[in-house]
């Protein structure tokens, strides 16, 4: 009865472009204030090994008949395909080379979402300056080819190619059958909820950025509708602006996810204002807060009835520094019994550098290194969250009880590093027991890295 994905009540400015013919579009009965379109599945997804291990859940007495018993959502960090570095254009060899073939199995879920940190244009314009990212539709097509069907556009590179790129990007993504959240819109004072139907679940996404590299076009005097504006909020305004949006969304959604581009680049820990805002969003009813922008993995906190991934780092990104190569996929599972978060899994990966930058399954040594970072930062006195190695993934306790079965199926192991704020700064000898935390870099090195946004 239901397709895998259906976009409902999307902001009209995010749904202007008509999808390709292969996608079913039904707006005949939609209200005039919003569009309704149904997206046919682009890639058939097999259940993940973790999902297959979970016990079947009995339907709740008042559950919607066509609501799936449980769903899984997966999230990645920053994705881009070429840009200007040091004033010179550095293209990506995608799609001639496939950046996702090594990790496609980690993305499999009912909905996979990434931060698309680039504009998408048929013809790449001549760009002045450095760190301006543009990709072609052929390059971005590698994402839906591997089931990564949803992206957020709310980030600091959203207008790297000016107004033309802001307008053109959603159209190309629609042509690829992809769902967009956080797109530019005509009314900059409204922060809409992008609602996606995932196997009968009504999942609401609230997306925004606290960074934008270039000034947005302003509404001219006498104009009733100005240029499209990217959802941008100053850090000091973020919490108060989004709290009422989340509270209202929770009333008519099964799950609410907040997706934010925020924080300080290459910092290991979130700022106090981020922690306060993210926790307030969970208290208001969000099930998860997913962040990016720092280009490094930060701690993943289990807070209240939700989870906060402060930064998922890079995923497909032209950055070769050691901490920035540690990445992964966050997997969240939800049970329909109480619309409850029943699964917290982090699949580690490493960004490799060759003809292209691409995420790969880590070696045993790399698995330990990523684990030291995730477990160390998450287990700090501030975040107080325990993650443990199970098979080739890391798991944490979830509010519902399904995850122990998944963990048992993966095969629990012990990695056991100390929390970040209890770790020694002494170097770890080869073959020593894992105890250290994230790699520390000199102040001068961090300064150079900040130039690779």
Q: What is the mean pLDDT of residues 328-357?
A: 91
Task: Say how far residue 26 (Cα) sits from the centre of its chain.
Answer: 28
Q: At what angle do helices 272-283 and 235-251 cross, to 10 degrees?
A: 10
Answer yes or no: pTM beyond 0.75. Answer: yes
How far the first Cα of the chain sits from its last, in Å, is: 43
298 lies in which domain range? 5-449
DSSP assignment of 246-305: HHHHHHT-SEEEEEEE-S-TT-SS--HHHHHHHHHHHHTT-SEEEEESSSSB--EEEETT
The CATH number of whichever domain residue 54 belongs to comes to 3.60.21.10
Rounded to the nearest 5°, which phi and psi values hold at 160?
A: -60, -30
pLDDT class of 56 with cuts at 50, 70, 90: very low
Number of neighbouring beta carbons within 10 Å of residue 30: 14
- Whether 414 shows a pLDDT value over 70: the answer reads no
Query: CB under 8 Å to 118, separation ≥6 — which residues?
Result: 79, 80, 81, 82, 83, 133, 134, 135, 157, 160
Task: Report the percentage of the chain scoring pLDDT > 90.
Answer: 48
Task: Report the percentage of the chain scoring pLDDT > 70.
Answer: 67
- The tens digit of pLDDT for each residue in 69-87 reads 999 999 999 988 876 666 6
Cβ atoms 205, 257 nearer than 8 A: yes
Distances (CA, A) of 304 to 75, 308, 317, 342, 401: 20, 10, 32, 13, 15
**What pLDDT sits at residue 401?**
55
Q: What is the mean pLDDT of residues 29-57?
A: 33
Q: What is the rounded CA–CA span in Å between residue 27 and residue 19? A: 12
- Whether 13 shows a pLDDT value over 80: the answer reads no
Task: Tell me which residue of 304, 308, 307, 324 sits closest to 316, measured CA to CA.
Answer: 324
Q: What is the mean pLDDT of residues 408-412?
A: 48
Q: What is the mean pLDDT of residues 213-235?
A: 69
Cβ atoms 183, 170 nearer than 8 A: yes
**What pLDDT sits at residue 161?**
73
- The tens digit of pLDDT for each residue in 304-331 reads 999 999 999 999 877 766 777 899 999 9
- Whether 238 shows a pLDDT value over 90: the answer reads yes
Q: What is the rounded CA–CA span in Å between residue 303 and residue 384? A: 9
Rounded to the nearest 5°, which phi and psi values hold at 148?
A: -85, 90
Beta pairing, strands 393-396 & 340-353: antiparallel
Task: Tell me which residue of 350, 282, 324, 351 sits closest to 452, measured CA to CA.
Answer: 324
Top-confidence residue, 222 or 114:
114
Number of domains in the chain: 1
**What pLDDT sits at residue 221?**
52
Q: What is the rounded CA–CA span in Å between residue 104 and residue 147? A: 8
- The tens digit of pLDDT for each residue in 358-396 reads 899 999 999 999 999 999 999 999 999 999 999 999 999
- The tens digit of pLDDT for each residue in 118-132 reads 888 787 767 666 677
Give the lowest-confidence range in 99-103, 242-246, 407-411: 407-411
- The tens digit of pLDDT for each residue in 110-119 reads 999 999 988 8
Task: Tell me which residue of 291, 319, 310 sits closest to 450, measured CA to CA.
Answer: 319
- The tens digit of pLDDT for each residue in 257-290 reads 999 999 998 999 999 999 999 999 999 999 999 9
The H or E element spanning position 346 is strand 340-353
Per DSSP, 234 falls in state: -
**What pLDDT sits at residue 229?**
85
Distances (CA, A) of 1 to 5, 6, 115, 255: 12, 12, 30, 21
């Amino acid at each position: 009865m239901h397709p895998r994905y259906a976009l409902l009540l999307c902001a009209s400015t995010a749904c202007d472009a008509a999808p390709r013919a292969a996608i079913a579009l039904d707006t005949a009965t939609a209200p005039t204030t919003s569009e309704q379109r149904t997206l046919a599945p682009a890639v058939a997804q097999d259940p993940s090994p973790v999902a297959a291990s979970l016990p079947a859940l009995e339907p709740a007495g008042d559950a919607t008949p066509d609501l799936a018993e449980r769903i899984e959502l997966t999230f990645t960090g920053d994705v881009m395909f070429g840009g200007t570095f040091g004033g010179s254009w550095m293209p990506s060899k995608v799609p001639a080379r496939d950046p996702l073939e090594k990790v496609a199995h980690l993305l499999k879920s009912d909905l996979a979402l990434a931060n698309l940190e680039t504009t998408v244009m048929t013809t790449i314009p001549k760009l002045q300056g450095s760190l301006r990212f543009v990709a072609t539709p052929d390059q971005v097509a590698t994402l839906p080819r591997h089931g990564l069907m949803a992206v957020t556009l709310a980030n600091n590179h959203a207008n790297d190619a000016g107004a033309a790129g802001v307008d053109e990007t959603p159209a190309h993504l629609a042509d690829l059958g992809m769902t967009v959240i956080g797109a530019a819109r005509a009314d900059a004072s409204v922060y809409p909820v992008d609602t996606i139907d995932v196997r009968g679940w009504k999942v609401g996404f609230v997306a925004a950025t606290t960074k934008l590299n270039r000034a947005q076009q302003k509404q001219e005097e006498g104009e009733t509708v100005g240029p499209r504006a990217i959802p941008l909020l100053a850090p000091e305004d973020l919490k108060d602006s989004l709290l009422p949006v989340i509270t209202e969304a929770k009333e008519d959604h099964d799950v609410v996810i907040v997706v934010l581009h925020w924080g300080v680049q290459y910092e290991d820990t979130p700022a106090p204002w981020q922690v306060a805002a993210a926790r307030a969003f969970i208290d208001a009813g969000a099930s998860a807060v997913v962040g990016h922008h720092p280009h490094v993995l930060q701690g993943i906190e289990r807070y209240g009835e939700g989870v906060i991934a402060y930064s998922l780092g890079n995923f497909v990104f032209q950055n070769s520094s050691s901490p920035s190569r540690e990445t992964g996929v966050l997997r969240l599972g939800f049970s329909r019994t109480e619309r409850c978060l029943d699964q917290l899994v982090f699949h580690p990966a490493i960004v490799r550098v060759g003809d292209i930058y691409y995420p790969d399954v880590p070696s045993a040594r790399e698995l330990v290194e990523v684990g030291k970072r995730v477990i160390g930062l998450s287990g700090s006195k501030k975040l107080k969250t325990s993650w443990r190695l199970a098979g080739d993934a890391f798991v944490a306790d979830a509010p519902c009880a399904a995850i122990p079965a998944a963990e048992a199926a993966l095969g629990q192991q012990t990695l056991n590093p100390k929390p970040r704020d209890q770790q020694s700064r002494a170097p770890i000898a080869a073959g020593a027991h894992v105890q250290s935390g994230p790699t520390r870099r000199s102040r001068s090195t961090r300064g150079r890295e900040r130039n690779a946004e």
